[in-house]
A and B are shown apart, each in its own frame.
Chain A
Amino acid sequence: MIKRISVLILIIFMVSMSVYGAAGTVKIGFMGALTGDVAMFGIPTLEGMKMAVEDVNKAGGVNGQKMVIVEADNRGDKPEAANIAQKFISRDRVAAIVGDPTTGITKVVAPICERNKVVLLSAGAVGTGVVELGQYIFRNTLLDSVAIPPLVDYFVNDVGYKKFAVVTSDNNDFSVSLTQIFKNALKGKKAQIVADEKIKDGDKDFSAQITNIKAKKPDIIFFSGYYTEGALLMKEARKQGLNVNMFGGDGLYSPTLISLGGKAVEGSMVYVGFFPENPSPETAKFIQAFKAKHNGKLPGLFETQGYDAIMMLAEAMKRAKSNDPKKFRDELAKIKDFKGVSGTITIQPNREPIKSPVYLLEIKDGAYKLKTKVDVKMKK
């Protein structure tokens, strides 16, 4: 009996402690998958967010409150993501939700956040029609519609590529929309698409597609999907003796592309809004801290975007002098030339982010090296 009572007292004590602790904190919900097929985007995003929260709290928190992340795993499942969003808002009373790294789930969560006037800052969604879902919906990603046109100019005019092979992962929304943007950008240029192949995320065998591409003798392969498939695609290309390089979006940017692709991805190019050897002191500091924490492993894109999402929120809260989303939302919308670790970010009036400049990286000797830097024009 005594045992039971003491357990009860302990529980009451712990509950009251946590309530007490909650009074001095501002909560940020993490929306993403920690298990399931898209866990490879959720896990690093959360990792980056945690590092940012540590930094924010070390510097004294925001407006006198400590920042806390509320975690929940949505498995990449949409109904579950909606449940979690509601839980974050009505149970945990979060000030903002960061995530989801995928466009699809962001679109499920966005209407819920908008209804409840809670800021949603997606660290990863790049598809079309995201910020249009409401006044409280933001993202901090490099938009392909911004980055692609100057890059296509570079490849066609400066490098002189004429024949492009396009590979799309057609069950991946990011890839499908990037391919559309690329094809539009190529229209009217002195270049043509000689092969237009489709794969699926999760596929392992690309032999048939590569045989098709090889027969068309392209100058370069444009692949709009993610790094796992990108690495396997290039492996297959080298296996079949196809010696052209690949280039693609920041979905390809990950140390895994190199560890999985090995020699096959030497010479492949990706464009990103940041660069590990970027002279910007913020990025350098972040990379150093990350390496120290993860046995020398380099951060990928999702870590940096997760980190920046938290930092942008903290910045907006500080400027608004309030942790109320209805107030700091306006400051978030005004963020300009924010020196993030994933690039310099400006939120435009339509809430779409701009990251400039865009870095084109090339893989050399098993590492990403700067190939060129292109400036992005601001849209009016």
Chain B
Amino acid sequence: MFWQQLINGIALGSTYALIALGYTMVYGIIQLINFAHGEIYMVGAFAALVLVTVFKMSIFLAMVLAMVVCLLLGVIIEFVAYRPLRRSSRLSALISAIGVSTFLSTLVLLIFGADAKGFPDDVFPVVQMRIGAAEVSSLQLLIIGVSALLMLGLEFIVHHTKIGKAMRATSQDYTTAALMGVNVNLVISFTFALGSALAAAGGVLVGIYFNAVSFNMGLMAGLKAFAAAVLGGIGSIPGAMLGGVVLGVVEVLGVAAGYSSYKDAIAFAILVAVLMIKPTGLLGQKIQKKV
């Protein structure tokens, strides 16, 4: 049973990681806690749901289109709600993000209603496999695989491409990067586009995996992803993956040990405990304070 629970935990953790990756990347570049990220994830899931159920598209095509929708949405949100606040206090941008999040979830509630919706059962072929004493479904493997791939892809973009270099420069010093000829507006738009597309992919996968999409799924997912990102060291891409998986495994093992009523508390307790020992998270860089 332990192995089964471990697999449950890794799969759950991967769903957290899927959202946390985009979260942490946006944070890494412009130090914004993007509370609207969870809502973008929710919109992505709904976009795919409409494409699959109304337009009868295959799930893969729907996922790609949902990513495009959210990519645009992310860029628009950045342009409208964050860009005018780039030089103000970070809390102003945080409140703006909360405003966007309220706006989006209410909008989706008005359009789709309050009840959760599910993807059709046959949208993705689910096959159960046995590994030793545990059972794994093809969907679980897909989620684990996709999140790992996305992590590697993001790492590659940030560290080995030209735009990645520009992103890192912007993250280090916004003004200097601009002076050195980096088009920071473009870089930030790109970051949001990438992060939002990732969120949409996460939304679709998680939507299929749990088979439930609802207007209020973004908030809790966003919080857990935020926790996962901080646990791994916010701004660190492998950290988001690690943080997500650790959180998922800890939660599941807590339930397995018979503490299901304390599930959320266990996750946050681990988070706080890690921060006590390592104040910048598992893989976070040490903050050098300027004196």
- The interface of chain A, by Cβ under 8 A from chain B, is 35-37, 39-40, 43, 170, 197-200, 202, 204-205, 207-209, 211-212, 215, 228, 231-232, 235, 239-241, 254, 256, 259-260, 262-263
Contacts and interface: CB of A to CB of B under 8 A. Distances in A.
A232 B211 contact: yes
A263 B217 CA distance: 23
Nearest to A75: B106
Contacts of B61: none
A208 B217 contact: no
Which among B12, B135, B211, B216 has the greatest number of chain A C-beta atoms within 10 A?
A: B211
Interface stretch (B30-38, B109-117, B183-191, B236-244): B109-117
30 contacts: A36-B216, A39-B109, A40-B113, A40-B114, A170-B261, A197-B260, A198-B260, A200-B263, A200-B264, A204-B210, A205-B15, A205-B210, A207-B8, A208-B8, A208-B252, A208-B253, A212-B255, A212-B258, A212-B260, A231-B118, A232-B211, A232-B212, A239-B128, A241-B135, A256-B115, A259-B118, A260-B117, A262-B118, A262-B121, A263-B121
B203 to A, nearest CB: 12
B202 interface: no
B137 interface: yes
A260 B121 contact: no
Interface string B257-276: 01011011000000000000
Contact of B115 (A37, A40, A198): A40
Contact of B210 (A215, A232, A241): A232
A228 B212 CA distance: 8
B222 interface: no
A212 B258 CA distance: 8
Interface residues of B, number: 39
Contact of A208 (B135, B137, B210, B251): B251
A211 B256 contact: yes
B137 A239 contact: yes
Contacts of A259: 117-118
Contacts of B15: 205
A208 B264 CA distance: 13
Contact of A202 (B115, B216, B258): B216
Given A208-B255, A260-B116, A231 B212 contact: yes
